[in-house]
Structure 1
Amino acid sequence: MATTLPPAVRAPTWPRVLWLAGAVLLVAMVVHVVALVLLGGPVSGPVSLRKPATFAETGWLLCWSVALVLPQLRTRAWQRHVVGATVLAFGFGETAIIGVQAWRGVPSHYNFATPLDTALMRGGAAGTAALFVVGMVVLLVATLRSRDAAPPLRLGVAAGVVVLLVGCAIGMVMISTNSGVYRGGIGSGFGRSGAYLGPDAAVVGPDLAGFRAATAGGDLVLPHAIGVHGLLLLAVPAVLLAGTTLRGRLAPVATMVAAVGVALAVLLVHAFRMLPLEALGTPALVALAACAGAYLAALGVTAPAVLRRA
């Protein structure tokens, strides 16, 4: 007689798969950091082992964030499959492509020097990013329709997904101009091929492991980095708070959402004005400092409640 196993035994759930996938990407990040230390080489620039380490870091945090979020939402099976599969494709696909190019010793971004480079850039990196956007839209719709979820949870997850989608949109602008330095126009890089088309050192300016304060234009890398960590910044604290007995959970979540949203808006307005980060004026710096302080204060309220529950 055949034995029917419970669903959890018959097949792993998406959260379990994502926890495991995140662990693999975490190991990949550590391996590349160790390789960079042992082998040397540049930390900045178009060719560096820091890049696959950075993408692996984004990937494992994304996988674990979605693993935390999915059980809190009312989702259909097909929604979980779409979200889980696109997160895996993005995390492993992007990390693998960036890693292959870094170990080949060629630029991973804006590189169309050979048919292989073009295929990896346009078909691989851009293709997995497009699939990932579809998965995040599905996750956003599922969040908005989970009306039985607590308001702080829905706000944090929905805002986290929106910030993440903004980060993806910034990445699309970067791809369309073949540069993380905005100098006007969108789509100017489409159709160009046959070489490495990324910005030169004079445009990027001094690069401190991805932080570029003196670009010859607006820096899109920093707001892009904030955006792609939207789930970690907003959804994860909201999920962790949902299981606590803290009263007024909406206030710290709303504070975090406002802080991240305002900071991202300030940086984007500055970037699209084609101004470098070193040209941030006093009002903008004050606003960014206030956002950082408000976010940390809300996190300070969140952390003790989560630790008490643990």
Structure 2
Amino acid sequence: MAATPPRTPGWPRVLWAAGAVLLVAMVVHVVALVLLGGPVGGPVSLRKPATFAETGWLLCWSVATVLPRLRTRAWQRHVVGATVLAFALGETAIIAVQAWRGVPSHYNFTTPLDAALMRGGAAGTAAVFVVGMVVLLVVALRSPVSRALRLGVAGGVGVVLVGCAVGMVMISTNSGVYRGGVGSGFGATGAYFGPDPATVGPDLAGFRPATAGGDLVLPHAIGVHGLLLLAVPAVLLAGTALRDRLAPVATMVAAVGLALLVLLAHAFRMLPLDALDTPALAVLAACAATYLGGLAVTARALLARRPGEDRTDVETGA
């Protein structure tokens, strides 16, 4: 008999609701950008709160999907739920306030308010979020679930933590363009210390192929979506009758992990994305194809599920 999935009342509902609010916030800022005009790229753009709202609503809904499948204690649910909520809502609110004020949200220490929002707000909520992710990782590793589900959730959290570490490097250098060293931006005050346009290069709605150094924004963006990329597919597969659920989950984890490794190795060599050589591009293309293959297996298993069927993996299952 399949084990009954542990129930986590409260926080999943809160996170579903918070995600809906952030989804609306994303749409509002996209519409405002279209109607009001203004830059799509650069440090001051309504695209930035839209982007953070997108990350926030997907994160909230991903955690709301994962939590009911794990065996958690009350304090663990509170820590995970509260830190995700603080990060998703807090970061989006801070970025939105600065965007509507017409000032940069990142690396901006021009006034005491700007410094407080940067250090206590953006960096502070990110640090709190890391605590929640560590707790979620421990929960995933200790929960009596199948190897496939454990690997998917643990892999997703691991990718998120890598994304957070990359974000901390960006904060410590006041730049998403890596030009060597860590920590050079600590203690800065009284001005905007972000990279100049020449360092960033052409900004194509957040994609910057020709930076004067290594681009950390892309691996950071992939990292913070780790739960959506890996944990959510594993949870969806856990509710199907597919016999071998470990293989597609493992291939997706390997694909995302290898792609992140290639991008980070390239960035920390201080090379722009348009300097990726043919072997690196081939590896990234193979990672993308492999990951999409895992998603295709997940989709087929979901489509083959009978109405009302909701299997739950147990410790010895795939």
Instruction: State the TM-score bracket (shorter-chain normalisation).
Output: over 0.9
User: Is 1:159 matched with 2:155?
Assistant: yes
Match of 1:130 among 127, 131, 138: 127
Match of 1:119 among 90, 94, 116: 116
Residue in 2 aligned with 1:67? 64
Q: Report the 3-state secondary structure (helix = DSSP H, G, I; strand = E; otherwise coil) of the residue aligned with 2:284.
A: helix
Shift of 1:145: 0.6
Shift of 1:31: 0.4
In structure 1, distance between residues paired with 2:244 and 2:270? 41
Match of 1:287 among 264, 277, 283: 283
User: Is 1:45 matched with 2:30?
Assistant: no
Match of 2:174 among 162, 178, 195: 178
In structure 1, distance between residues paired with 2:22 and 2:146? 31
- Deviation per residue, 1:119-177 (Å, 9 max, x gap): 0000111111010000000000010111x201100000000000000000000000000
| Counterpart amino acid of residue 150 in structure 2 | R
Q: 1:188-203, aligned counterparts within 5 Å?
A: 188-203=184-199
Residue in 1 aligned with 2:316? none
User: Is 1:217 matched with 2:219?
Assistant: no
**Which structure would you say has the larger RCO, counting Cα contacts within 8 Å and 6 or more residues apart?**
2
Q: Report the 3-state secondary structure (helix = DSSP H, G, I; strand = E; otherwise coil) of the residue aligned with 1:25.
A: helix
User: Is 1:259 matched with 2:225?
Assistant: no
Shift of 1:307: 2.6
Shift of 1:308: 2.9
In structure 2, distance between residues paired with 1:71 and 1:198? 41
- Deviation per residue, 1:20-52 (Å, 9 max, x gap): 110000000000000000000000000000000
Q: Report the 3-state secondary structure (helix = DSSP H, G, I; strand = E; otherwise coil) of the residue aligned with 1:173.
A: helix
Shift of 1:305: 1.0
Residue in 2 aligned with 1:145? 142
| Counterpart amino acid of residue 178 in structure 1 | N
Residue in 1 aligned with 2:183? 187
Range with greater deviation from structure 2 (12-21 or 110-119): 12-21
Residue in 2 aligned with 1:4? none
User: Is 1:303 matched with 2:299?
Assistant: yes
The TM-score normalised by the length of structure 1 is: 0.95
In structure 2, distance between residues paired with 1:107 and 1:306? 43
Alpha carbon RMSD of aligned pairs, Å?
1.1
User: Is 1:91 matched with 2:88?
Assistant: yes
In structure 2, distance between residues paired with 1:97 and 1:220? 21
Shift of 1:192: 1.0
In structure 1, distance between residues paired with 2:208 and 2:70? 38
In structure 2, distance between residues paired with 1:12 and 1:22? 17
Shift of 1:12: 5.8
In structure 2, distance between residues paired with 1:16 and 1:289? 37
In structure 1, distance between residues paired with 2:138 and 2:57? 23
| Counterpart amino acid of residue 132 in structure 2 | G
- Deviation per residue, 1:287-307 (Å, 9 max, x gap): 000000000111111112113
| Counterpart amino acid of residue 50 in structure 1 | R
Residue in 1 aligned with 2:246? 250
Shift of 1:13: 1.1
In structure 2, distance between residues paired with 1:306 and 1:113? 51
User: Is 1:206 matched with 2:202?
Assistant: yes
Q: Report the 3-state secondary structure (helix = DSSP H, G, I; strand = E; otherwise coil) of the residue aligned with 2:304.
A: helix
In structure 2, distance between residues paired with 1:12 and 1:263? 36
Q: 1:273-284, aligned counterparts within 5 Å?
A: 273-284=269-280
Shift of 1:93: 0.2
User: Is 1:80 matched with 2:66?
Assistant: no
Over the matched positions of the two proteins, sequence identity in percent amounts to 84
Aligned length: 300
Match of 2:24 among 19, 23, 27: 27
- Deviation per residue, 1:191-220 (Å, 9 max, x gap): 111100000000000010110000000000
In structure 1, distance between residues paired with 2:76 and 2:9? 16
| Counterpart amino acid of residue 282 in structure 2 | V
In structure 1, distance between residues paired with 2:67 and 2:90? 21
